[in-house]
Amino acid sequence: MKKSLGFWRSWALVVGTIIGSGVFTLPAILAPYGNNSFYGWGVAVLGTLSIAFAFSHLAGRNPRIGGPHAFVEEAFGHYPAMIVAWGYWISLWVSIAAIATAFSGYSAIFIPAITDYPFISPMIAIGAVWVFTYINLQGVENVSIVQMITVILKLIPLFVIGTIGFFIGDISSVPAENPNNESFPAMISGITILVMFSFIGIESATVPSENVIDPKKTIPRALVWGTLTAAAIYILATAGVMSMIPMNELQNSTSPFADAASLIFGDIGATFVGIGALIAIAGALNSNILLTGTVLMAGAHEKILPSFLKKVNDDGTPMTALIFSSMLTTVVIMINSSKGLLKAFEIMILIATFAILLAYLGATLASIKLQITDHSNGKKINPVTMINSIIAVLFSTFAIVGAWVIY
């Protein structure tokens, strides 16, 4: 199999998976906290980096296709890996349904009929899923090219609005708020959990490892630099919007970036942001579909998932796994189109969130276990790596407990 994912394409996979539609609502969500939100950003970035470094250690030690469940299997055996594999896969294809639905929602900016005729929305969402499934069926090289293009195009509007807003606004005038009159640690914990969910996808470069050039070096670098890139864009964009829009207006905004862009560019600003949002969502959709097919194929090879899912086409693409996952995603989107079943969909999203956080916990625990195993085989433990893995376990646990409390 020809390996086509070098550093930049692996980096684009990480950035594209992390930065989806959520970034366009983050400033409004964090507005009630004002400047205090940046403390939460700091904790979330440090915690997320600890998880990224833990995945970097695992990938640098022994890159295995499939991502989190592959590391868990090596550390703890078949059955824990099976739980992580099933959970991780469910989280991916349910997330794809949510991302595709968001794509349809933002399309209403350019296709007003979506608002007038509700049946059009699920059709567009399903169409988007199958367009990117088709792209994925053409092979990882084509997927990575599309991913690189969408990442560059999605970073441009976020960087432009964030930078201009930062310079023409006044970040120092943003007040530090504590809307619930909590203790400072409790408030920062709540902000951190809200921000943490924006970093889901940090593990993405570990999944298609057999397609990565020099994976022991490329994957760790892509994980860390991809996470840092996403963090820098998130913080810059949030600071830029907060600098321009008063907090009492911002927290009631349904489209904070469109509001900020309108202040900078006039009426064309909303269109500018709408295009950026669609590109951001398209990139996340593309990468998540890639991950879904690869996870299924890897699990099937390891007899964790049904064997029929390991079938590939002439290019080595997991054809059956991709089509099977997209069929399930189509069903979920159709369920979501029924108002009577909307609550069931929300519950599935909640399950997906917990499943991927549990995958992070399993992988970070695997990092500790494998370091101990290597030590028993005569290899010295790197204290920095071990301390980081312990921090990653604690932060993963914190995120799971925090998510439980919030929901």
- What is the per-residue pLDDT for 309? 86
205-219 tens-digit pLDDT: 888 777 888 888 898
| Spatial contact of 64 and 70, defined as CB atoms under 8 Å apart | yes
- Please give the pLDDT value at position 52: 92
- What is the pLDDT confidence band of residue 348, given thresholds at 50, 70 and 90? low
Residue 373 structure tokens: 């195993």
Average pLDDT over residues 284-301: 87
pLDDT exceeding 70 applies to what percent of the chain? 94
Residue 341 has pLDDT above 50, yes or no: no
Mean pLDDT, residues 146-163: 89
Residue 374 within a domain: yes
Task: Give the residue-averaged pLDDT of 121-141.
Answer: 90
Residue 402 has pLDDT above 60, yes or no: yes
Mean pLDDT over each residue of the chain, to the nearest integer = 85
Which residue range is the domain that position 64 belongs to?
A: 7-406
pLDDT tens digits, 274-284:
888 888 888 88
The yes-or-no verdict on residue 225 having pLDDT over 90 is yes
At 340, the pLDDT band (50, 70, 90 cuts) reads very low
Query: What is the value of pTM for the model shown?
Result: 0.85
Q: What angle do CA 225, 283, 107 make, to 5 degrees?
A: 140
Tokens of 386: 């071990």
What is the average pLDDT across 105-110?
77
Residue 21 banded pLDDT, cuts 50, 70, 90: low
Does 330 have pLDDT greater than 80? yes
The answer on pLDDT for 387 being more than 90 is yes
| Helical pair 319-336 and 78-107, crossing angle rounded to 10 deg | 60
Distance, in Å, from the CA atom of 335 to the CA atom of 122, rounded to the nearest integer, reads 10
Among 359, 61, 340, CA closest to 204: 359
Asked whether the predicted pLDDT for residue 66 surpasses 90, the reply is no
Q: Which of 152, 180, 197 is nearest to 12 (CA)?
A: 152
- Mean pLDDT, range 219-241, rounded to an integer: 91
Query: What pLDDT, in 10s, does the model give residues 249-269?
Result: 888 876 788 888 888 888 788
Residue 129 is assigned to a structural domain of this protein: yes
Q: Is the pLDDT of residue 197 over 80?
A: no
pLDDT (mean) for 14-26:
81
Token reading at 360: 């992070």
Instruction: Tell me if 206 sits within 8 A of 55, measured CB to CB.
Output: yes
DSSP symbol at 130? H
pLDDT greater than 80 at residue 352: no
Q: How far apart are CA 318 and CA 324, in angstroms?
A: 10
Residues sharing a CB contact under 8 Å with residue 347, sequence separation 6 or more, in sequence order = none
Residue 69's domain is classified under what CATH number? 1.20.1740.10
Residue 2 forms part of a structural domain: no
pLDDT at 374 over 80: yes
Query: How many whole angstroms separate alpha carbon 128 and alpha carbon 110?
Result: 15
Q: Which residues are within 8 A (CB) of 170 and not within 5 positions of it... i.e. 6 or more apart?
A: 243
- If one counts the domains in the chain, the total is 1
Residues 62-66 have a mean pLDDT of 76
Band of residue 342 on the pLDDT scale cut at 50, 70, 90: very low
Overall average pLDDT of the 162-180 stretch = 85
